[in-house]
A and B are shown apart, each in its own frame.
Chain A
Amino acid sequence: MDFVSENADLFVDAFLATLGLSLLAGLLALVLGTLLAAMRVSPVPPLRGLATFYVETFRNTPLTVVFFFLIFGLPQIDFVIGFFSGAVLSVGLYTAAFVCEAVRSGINAVAAGQAEAARALGLTFGQSLREVVLPQAFRTVVPPLGNVLIAMVKNTSIAAGFSVSELSSLLPRLVNADAGDLTLVLVGVVVGYMVITLPSALAVNRIERRVAILR
């Protein structure tokens, strides 16, 4: 078991990097994705166009290319960001496109009469979205949003290719160091991801039950 004790620190650091990356990118994706969804349903055509352009750009670009662009492309125009921040931005901006579409499908699932009643009361577009439409939309998007976020946690593994010492980066490093313990390293890495994704999945289920609404 020397192998495990020798590399415990490395493993913990990598796990924390993946966790931090997931939390920060997840937060960015949720906030930006919701904002984009609001733009896509807004009555202002330029906002709709901008958000649609964003979503189609990021949704149809491989995440690795987004990483390349932010970490190696931006320095070309003298905008240098660190590897970790670059990874947070890449994963967050990319996932925001998927969050946007999940939230938008939820908004579309809210009966049109709800927004009409809100507008008829004199609520502004923003108020009716905040007070009436989004709270109901989020209830229906909890399951798909859970999927998006779990996929995002796993997508953070691409950061391994961009010098971020997160969980997946352990694989080549530790396997090269001691090829005999390949299985142990693999299991360790998989468990590391599951420690993040499984509780998220459970949390999603609980939230789903809590917010379920009578219609």
Chain B
Amino acid sequence: MTSRTAGEPLVRLSAVDKWFGELHVLQDIDLSIDRGEVVVVIGPSGSGKSTLCRTVNRLEPIDSGEITIDGQRLPDEGRELARLRADVGMVFQSFNLFAHKTVLENVTLGPVKVRKQPKGDAERRARELLDRVGVGSQADKYPAQLSGGQQQRVAIARALAMDPKVMLFDEPTSALDPEMINEVLDVMTALARDGMTMVVVTHEMGFARRAANRVVFMDGGRIVESATPETFFTRPQSDRAKDFLAKILTH
């Protein structure tokens, strides 16, 4: 391991462009995320915020520009990319728990197959993590037997089991019933407080105010504003952001 200077950002996107066919979904994106920083990405649907999140572990390849994680450029494909992805936790909107595996197996799969941890150690750690996110008693059930909120907390535990350097959350509460949103946000807030580096794409403005160090507002494939939650929510600079906030904060 090479030692890194403390000031170097953990995740850096420079001049990133991406097209979906004719659609220019990401336009000249520059974004740096420091260690321990919690960045919340908001914006209207179709603004490219999910795509942005998914480029960080190359679930979406980019057309030009550069993305580095911990100083290392994202490899194109193959084992190098897999190794780098192991250090980047990801939580999806639709949970994506492995349907044929128990909750415990979902959490131990990565540590056993990728990190080559002994099964016993991985299970012990998995149970700790499941307890931490409040679903320890569900360890031997299958994902379909759990509520959405429980499934998403298992998904968070599954990502944490890899000891990731950074966690990506792609609209983690958008598929949840309203009464289950808070149990997931509580887990995320606790993570943020513990110093996890996080990129969170969400529509939960309460979470953004409470847990974010920085809010990034996207529209039309561009980063329009980047500010502290306090500044962004009280004194947005761009008309587009003012318009967006007026629409979502009125009720």
A residues neighboring B (CB under 8 Å): 43, 111, 113-114, 116-124, 127, 131-132, 135-136, 139, 213-215
Contact = CB atoms under 8 A, between A and B. Distances in A.
B49 interface: no
A84 B92 CA distance: 53
B114 A120 contact: no
Nearest to A110: B99
Contacts of B87: 122
B113 interface: yes
A84 B143 CA distance: 48
Interface in B160-175: 162
B247 interface: no
Interface string B132-162: 0000000000111100000000010011001
A139 B57 CA distance: 30
A69 B89 CA distance: 53
A124 B90 CA distance: 16
A213 B79 contact: no
A116 B144 contact: no
Interface of B: 57, 59, 77-79, 82-90, 92, 94, 96-100, 109-110, 113-114, 142-145, 155, 158-159, 162
14 contacts: A43-B77, A113-B94, A114-B99, A117-B97, A120-B57, A120-B90, A121-B158, A122-B86, A127-B113, A127-B114, A132-B109, A139-B100, A213-B99, A213-B142
Given A214-B145, A215-B144, A119 B99 contact: no
A43 B82 CA distance: 14
A122 B83 contact: yes
A35 B92 CA distance: 30
Nearest to A118: B98
B144 A121 contact: no
Contact of B79 (A124, A131, A136): A124
Given A120-B85, A123-B82, A124-B79, A131 B113 contact: yes
B77 A121 contact: no
